[in-house]
Amino acid sequence: MIKLENAVRTYHLGKATVPALRGVDLEIEDGELVAIMGPSGSGKSTLMHLIGALDQPDGGSIVFGEQDVSKQSRKALAQLRGKHIGFVFQSFNLIATLTALENVELPMIYQGVARKERIAKARELLGQLGVDDRADHLPTELSGGEQQRVAIARALVNDPDLLLADEPTGNLDSKTGKQIMELLIRLNKERGMTVVLVTHDPTIARYAQRTIHIFDGKVGRAADWEEE
């Protein structure tokens, strides 16, 4: 599904040049549940942004399905994200003035889905994730676990092929975090959805079928970093 070849990403901060990714090669197969693991500042989030078509590399290539993301226009990238990629973040990123139901509806509005269909699908997803009784509540009226379930429902409304989760349990207690991880595993198995977890936590990485280690913008084995 996803293939990176010699992907490079460099940021320019004033006169300083900061290399975030230094020639990354990796492949993620359709239906895999993969963890990307590394310490803070290792390049995890940059790699996720490239995989999720939120950003483009300065060099190398990123192929998503049959599309070379590195050569697409901003409009094409937005369409790719809207139709094929769902995002779940540590901070939930729910809109505070919208109810849980309205938050889940939102991506469908951008896809031109009729209101009746939007509401029906949003309620169905909230029900599948066990928070249908919280549909009319604002995010501030929900627990952390409930907010993350709503965020996952929102990520699923357009039936994405790929679900990207950036530190999805980082703001949750251990019990709720375990429930969220079990939910992501179920989505991977039942829907055949490709799931990529970005984490610095080895406990979370253990849920994945495979772990990709990244350090100083390079991919390799965990033992490589321990030797340096």
Candidates 3.40.50.300, 3.90.1150.10, 1.10.150.20, 3.40.50.20; correct CATH number of 31-56+73-227? 3.40.50.300
pLDDT over 90 at 218, yes or no: yes
Domain residue limits, the chain? 31-56+73-227
Q: How far apart are CA 196 and CA 81, in angstroms?
A: 15
Banded model confidence at residue 227, pLDDT cuts 50, 70, 90: very low
Query: What per-residue confidence (pLDDT) applies to 222?
Result: 56
Q: What is the mean pLDDT of residues 202-220?
A: 92
pTM of the model: 0.88
pLDDT classification of 223: cutoffs 50, 70, 90:
low
Report the alpha-carbon distance of residue 177 to residue 63 in Å, rounded. 31
Provide the mean pLDDT of the chain. 91
Tell me the C-alpha to C-alpha distance, in Å, between residue 220 and each of 24, 87, 195, 223.
Answer: 9, 25, 20, 8
Q: What is the DSSP letter of 22?
A: E
